[in-house]
């Protein structure tokens, strides 16, 4: 079996363009799908996929580890998140092909079934664009959280920390404390709540102030309280607070996660299969996390093929904790791709179809062609107009 071509299909999703990767083979009807979505870098990733295709065309698609190493090592230059996202899309498609060839779901290639269902969380109002509510409006925000839980979810992640800088103003901290207390009272103790700081705090002291305000409500984790990359600083934050910390959506290589594990900086790591190199590197990162006493909660606010990949990864990963999803992001999430994700009692069911179980409806996809993304990060300004972390 040989690879004959690598194609990209772009579907606009307002704040991002989904980048779907199709790997073709010389076997009639046998091809694979992957996803390489990277917010606000669409054309760069598509170009990287085109460049990397030269490394895999003519090769056996079932030699997955071999081809991943070829794309990485023969590229000479460190690839960074753009190149690794391109590899991820191709790599997922190779797993899709290999599993279809054997007539088994992808999770069987990843070590087999580790669990009977997959714990999942969503965002406020399932992440639906246009349904956001200002956290300053406590009544409306709490109502939105209750509505999200009523959709059938047992866990929700929220962004309640304001755009901040090196300090944590007392009124802002007190407001966050009041808001999260009301949320916990509204949903009860049976619903898991996570809080995403998005790395907005520019100092350890600011991060600690907001985490201390949230900790009494027993969050499952606090995500990215400071910018990623400084693991010594993250460990220092962890030593000063009571809530479990999580990070990893903006880390990309096993070496970065190894350093995170060595510092015992967080309880949860959040690799994104669309950015780290697909399943091949995702499994290595999960193994590093397990040795470092860390669970895995993969980052996944992207498209439906990414969601399918995350599902298979979760099924097969022993130290998996909970899976992010954003199926409500845009109305056409469930229209452009047939996918195996089934929500039952707040969990995802284990898929049984061969491969990833996904198929792009190219007619439906064509209704949402590439457009320049709406970039919400432009909102991240202080009162005096200084640029802040989004």
> How many other C-beta atoms can be found within 10 angstroms of the C-beta atom of residue 46?
21
What is d(CA 302, CA 89) in angstroms, rounded to the nearest whole number? 12
Nearest to 189 by CA among 232, 238, 155, 234: 155
Are 100 and 304 in contact, with CB atoms under 8 Å apart? no
Supply the residues annotated as catalytic.
198, 299
- Looking from the CA of 180 toward its CB, the CA atoms found within 13 Å total 27
* Residue 261 three-state SS: helix
- Between helix 204-214 and helix 231-240 the angle, nearest 10°, is 40
Which of 292, 289, 244 minimizes the C-alpha distance to 269?
A: 289
Could you give the maximum distance between any two Cα atoms of the chain, in Å? 65
**Backbone φ and ψ of 384, nearest 5°:** -95, 10
Cβ(356)–Cβ(312) under 8 Å?
yes
């Amino acid at each position: 079996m040989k690879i004959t071509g690598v194609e990209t299909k772009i579907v606009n999703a307002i704040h991002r363009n989904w980048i779907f990767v199709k790997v073709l083979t010389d076997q009639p009807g046998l091809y694979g799908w992957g996803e390489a979505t990277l917010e606000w870098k669409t054309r760069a990733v598509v170009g990287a996929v085109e460049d990397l295709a030269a490394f895999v065309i003519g090769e056996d698609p079932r030699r997955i580890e071999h081809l991943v190493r070829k794309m990485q090592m023969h590229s000479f230059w460190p690839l960074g998140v753009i190149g690794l996202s391109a590899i991820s899309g191709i790599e997922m498609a190779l797993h899709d092909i290999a599993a279809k060839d054997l007539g088994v779901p992808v999770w069987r290639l990843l070590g087999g079934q580790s669990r009977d269902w997959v714990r999942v969380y969503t965002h406020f109002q399932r992440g639906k664009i246009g349904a956001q509510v200002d956290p300053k409006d406590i009544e409306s925000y709490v109502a939105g959280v209750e509505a999200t839980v009523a959709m059938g979810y047992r866990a929700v992640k929220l962004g309640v920390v304001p755009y901040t800088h090196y300090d944590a103003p007392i009124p802002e901290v007190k407001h966050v404390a009041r808001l999260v207390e009301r949320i916990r009272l509204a949903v009860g103790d049976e619903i898991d709540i996570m809080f995403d700081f998005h790395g907005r705090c520019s100092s350890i002291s600011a991060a600690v102030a907001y985490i201390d305000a949230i900790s009494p409500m027993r969050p499952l984790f606090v995500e990215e309280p400071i910018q990623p990359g400084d693991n010594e600083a993250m460990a220092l934050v962890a030593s000063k607070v009571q809530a479990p910390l999580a990070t990893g959506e903006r880390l990309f290589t096993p070496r970065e996660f190894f350093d995170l594990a060595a510092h015992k900086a967080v309880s949860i790591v959040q690799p994104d299969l669309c950015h780290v190199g697909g399943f091949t590197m995702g499994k290595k990162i999960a193994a590093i996390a397990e040795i470092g006493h860390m669970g895995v909660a993969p980052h996944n606010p992207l498209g439906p093929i990414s969601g399918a990949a995350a599902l298979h990864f979760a099924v097969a990963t022993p130290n998996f904790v909970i899976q992010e999803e954003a199926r409500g992001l845009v109305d056409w999430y469930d229209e452009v791709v047939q996918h195996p994700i089934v929500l039952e009692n707040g969990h995802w069911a284990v898929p049984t179809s061969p491969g990833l179980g996904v198929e792009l409806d190219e007619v439906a996809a064509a209704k949402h062609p590439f457009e320049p993304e709406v970039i919400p990060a432009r909102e991240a300004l202080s009162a005096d107009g200084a640029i802040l972390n989004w």
